[in-house]
């Protein structure tokens, strides 16, 4: 695609023309840029998510700080579980925001008129992915420093965190769209997301434990394959199902 | 119409007699299993209910697809009814399984993959009902809950097939639970590695001695959390090359067996066996079990269709109330 076309003109195209006129990816990119811009104006999700992550890590380090590998052989597994729990719950606080905000500000109808459902979904997915990757980077960095975690295989850990984030976003974006229409939004998001995320968590925690313990790449390939399959399956299902959710 | 009604009456009666027969057969026809005693009879109740749980989930997903396709209220009622009856069977399977595990394995919850899977299934059902109660508009409630139902169904293959295999390799080495998984056991030797682990039990080899044709190993067994320590003496028959005496682990009904011996180096191959893995090889148990599966399937179909009819009736009454402004 021509980069000149995609950068400036698409916002106007998406806003003024009929929904089907703009190419899909350009429209999705426009939705993503709109969300980033409105997020940077209020920084609501950013503040909430990052502060939640920081408090969680600090709270854990208050109790876990003195633990060392010599005192506990299962430490990598414990640390991997705690890291993913921190990421998971911080994600629960922020990832629903993209859709909930549209309903609360009563802008969903305008968005329905200006972009195709698939473009809206892809744009929101991209926004959630950007938010989550930032969150994962901050949480993991703080976690490693404050809990004095020894990362045996940093490359594998980074790959697992990336694959896990992709799966998490693929699973929760559709659920965020569902709960935006319900009456109790915050609690429902976690309730609906957790059972769907359970396979991802099992695999990601065990893979991350192997990475922290310093085992080689062959110990994490299985986990990466499962995470990739999970992401593809849920992403495809979301594309099929989103039209039904996005109906007025 | 009256013919159909009569047929349904006959089917209902037959189902009642059939289920009563299964309950009688469960105690009178099925033999006791060595090592499990009367607890083994639970297979007639527990396995079919767990199986029906997955059937119910699949039926519910099919109805949800049909609802999103044709938008008929009857399909939504079918999806809800199937999920509700499935939830009932899921609870029955979980509780009966925990009861059995408490008697046989010494603890109601073991975090083995099957238990994890059924717990997540319970949570999915609960989330589905929570979502329905949180959506006020009827059309939106049907549409969004159908979407969630299908979305959750997409993750089930991962939960059922992938997570247990992943877990077995790192967290749950208790291969005794999962049939078909490789269960190699461990070699312990007097002059080398004396301490090893099977599942979450720690074993220490104290001695090996030959008594005629039998080789007896003295093994110190420590249960998780150091609850109990015991000295067990499993034995191995040299002539047949098979384990002879299989003692039980303290507090559990797992058996410790010697599966191989290397007398020259003082090495023995120790392994854990779960009682009940050969339960269905008995033909009387097998046929009662199959009859129970059919019976529970019939019970499920009857229950969910009844519930779907009730839901549809409620829907019609609500519509009439809206149309005429009268309490129906």
Question: Which ranges of chain A have pLDDT less than 70?
Answer: 1-22, 66-71
Supply the pLDDT for residue B105: 67
Which residues of chain A are within 8 Å of residue B126 when distances are taken between CB atoms? 191
Q: Length of chain B in residues, anyone?
A: 328
Which residues of chain B are within 8 Å of residue A182 when distances are taken between CB atoms? 131, 134-135, 144
pLDDT digits (tens, 9 = 90+) for B20-72: 999 898 888 877 765 566 777 888 888 899 889 989 999 999 999 999 999 99
Centre a 10 Å sphere on the Cβ of residue B254 and count the other Cβ atoms it contains.
Answer: 23
What are A123's two structure tokens? Answer: 């744009």
β-pairing, B229-232 with B235-237? Answer: unpaired
Supply the pLDDT for residue B179: 37
Shortest CA gap A72–chain B (Å): 15
C-beta atoms of A174 and B123 within 8 A? no
- Residue B171 predicted with pLDDT over 50: no
Which of B146, B148, B171 has the CB atom closest to A192's CB atom?
B148
Supply the pLDDT for residue A115: 87
CA distance B55 to A238: 24
Supply the pLDDT for residue A32: 93
pLDDT digits (tens, 9 = 90+) for B74-110: 999 999 999 999 999 999 999 998 888 787 767 777 6
Highest mean pLDDT pick, A232-246, B32-46, B183-197, B212-226? A232-246
**Where are chain A's structural domains?**
22-246
pLDDT digits (tens, 9 = 90+) for B119-149: 888 999 999 999 999 998 889 999 999 999 9
C-beta atoms of B131 and A178 within 8 A? yes
**Mutation target among B170, B173, B200, B225 for the A interface, most CBs of A within 10 A:** B170
Supply the pLDDT for residue B177: 43
DSSP symbol at A182: S
| Cβ pair A192, A173 in contact under 8 A | no
Which residues of chain B are within 8 Å of residue A198 when distances are taken between CB atoms? 116, 120, 123, 155, 159, 163
pLDDT > 90 in chain B, percent: 32
Say whether residue B202 is in contact with chain A using an 8 A CB cutoff: no
| Cβ pair B134, A182 in contact under 8 A | yes
Supply the pLDDT for residue B163: 56
pLDDT band at B200 (very low <50, low <70, confident <90, very high): low
Which residues of chain B are within 8 Å of residue A192 when distances are taken between CB atoms? 127, 130-131, 148
Element (H, E) at B211: strand B201-211
Average pLDDT over residues B175-180: 41
Which of B120, B123, B154 has the CB atom closest to A234's CB atom?
B154
Which residues of chain B are within 8 Å of residue A200 when distances are taken between CB atoms? 158
Say whether residue B96 is in contact with chain A using an 8 A CB cutoff: no
Tell me, letter by letter, the H, E, C secondary structure of B11-31. Answer: HHHHHHHHHHHHHHHHHHCCC
C-beta atoms of A182 and B135 within 8 A? yes
Say whether residue B163 is in contact with chain A using an 8 A CB cutoff: yes
B120 vs B181, residue with greater confidence: B120
SS3 state at B268 = strand
Size of interface A-B (CB pairs under 8 A): 105
ipTM: 0.86
| Cβ pair B126, B83 in contact under 8 A | no
Please state, in angstroms and as integers, the Cα–Cα distance from residue B119 to each residue in A73, B92, B125, following that order: 28, 12, 10
CA distance A34 to A20: 18
- Residue B166 predicted with pLDDT over 70: no
| Cβ pair B112, B172 in contact under 8 A | yes
pLDDT digits (tens, 9 = 90+) for B306-327: 999 999 999 888 888 888 876 5
Interface residues of chain A, partner chain B, Cβ below 8 Å = 77, 171, 174-175, 178-179, 181-184, 188, 191-192, 194-196, 198-200, 202-203, 206, 209-210, 222-223, 226, 229-230, 233-234, 237-238, 241, 244-245, 247
SS3 state at B158 = helix
Using CA coordinates, name the residue in chain A closest to B128: A192
């Amino acid at each position: 695609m021509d980069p000149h076309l995609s950068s400036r003109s698409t916002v106007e195209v998406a806003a003024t023309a009929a929904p089907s006129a703009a190419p899909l990816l350009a429209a999705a990119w426009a939705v993503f840029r709109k969300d980033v811009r409105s997020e940077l104006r209020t920084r609501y999700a950013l503040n909430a998510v990052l502060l939640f992550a920081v408090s969680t890590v600090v709270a854990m380090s208050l109790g876990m700080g003195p633990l060392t590998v010599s005192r506990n052989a299962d430490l990598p597994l414990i640390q991997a579980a705690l890291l993913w729990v921190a990421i998971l719950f911080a994600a629960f606080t922020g990832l629903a925001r993209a859709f909930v905000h549209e309903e609360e500000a009563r802008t969903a109808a305008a968005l329905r008129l200006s972009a195709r459902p698939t473009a809206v979904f892809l744009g929101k997915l991209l926004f959630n992915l950007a938010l989550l990757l930032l969150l994962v980077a901050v949480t993991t960095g703080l976690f490693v420093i404050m809990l004095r975690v020894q990362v045996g295989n940093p490359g594998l850990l980074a790959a697992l965190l990336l694959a896990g984030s992709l799966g998490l976003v693929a699973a929760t974006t559709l659920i965020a769209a569902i709960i935006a229409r319900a009456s109790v939004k915050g609690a429902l998001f976690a309730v609906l997301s957790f059972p769907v995320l359970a396979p991802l968590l099992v695999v990601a925690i065990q893979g991350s434990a192997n990475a922290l313990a310093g085992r080689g790449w062959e110990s994490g390939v299985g986990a990466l394959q499962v995470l990739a399959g999970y992401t593809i399956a849920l992403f495809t299902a979301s594309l099929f199902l989103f039209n039904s959710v996005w109906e007025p | 119409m009256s013919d159909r009604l009569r047929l349904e009456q006959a089917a209902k009666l037959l189902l009642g007699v059939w289920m009563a027969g299964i309950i009688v057969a469960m105690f009178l026809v099925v033999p006791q299993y060595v090592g499990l005693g009367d607890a083994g009879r639970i297979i007639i109740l527990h396995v079919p209910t767990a199986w029906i749980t997955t059937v119910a989930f699949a039926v519910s997903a099919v109805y949800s697809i049909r609802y999103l396709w044709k938008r008929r209220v009857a399909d939504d009622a079918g999806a809800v009814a199937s999920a509700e009856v499935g939830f009932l069977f899921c609870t029955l399977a979980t509780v009966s399984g925990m009861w059995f595990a408490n008697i046989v394995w010494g603890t109601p919850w073991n975090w083995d993959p099957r238990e994890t899977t059924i717990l997540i299934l319970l949570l999915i059902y609960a989330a589905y009902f929570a979502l329905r109660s949180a959506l006020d508009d009827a059309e939106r409630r049907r549409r969004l809950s159908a979407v969630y139902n299908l979305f959750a169904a997409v993750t089930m293959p991962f939960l059922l097939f992938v997570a247990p295999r992943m877990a077995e390799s790192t967290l749950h080495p208790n291969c005794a639970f999962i049939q078909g998984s490789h269960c190699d056991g461990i070699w312990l030797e007097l002059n080398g590695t004396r301490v090893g682990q099977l599942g979450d039990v720690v074993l220490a080899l104290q001695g090996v001695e030959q008594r005629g044709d039998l080789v007896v190993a003295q093994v110190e067994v420590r249960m998780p959390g150091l609850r109990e320590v015991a000295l067990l003496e499993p034995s191995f028959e040299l002539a047949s090359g098979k384990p002879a005496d299989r003692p039980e682990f303290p507090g559990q009904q797992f058996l410790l067996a010697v599966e191989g011996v290397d007398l020259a180096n003082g090495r023995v191959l120790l392994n854990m066996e779960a009682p009940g893995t050969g339960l269905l090889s008995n033909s009387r148990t097998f046929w009662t079990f199959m009859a129970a599966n059919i019976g529970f399937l019939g019970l499920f179909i009857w229950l969910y269709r009844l519930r779907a009819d009730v839901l549809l009736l409620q829907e019609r009454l609500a519509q009439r109330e809206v149309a005429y402004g009268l309490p129906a």
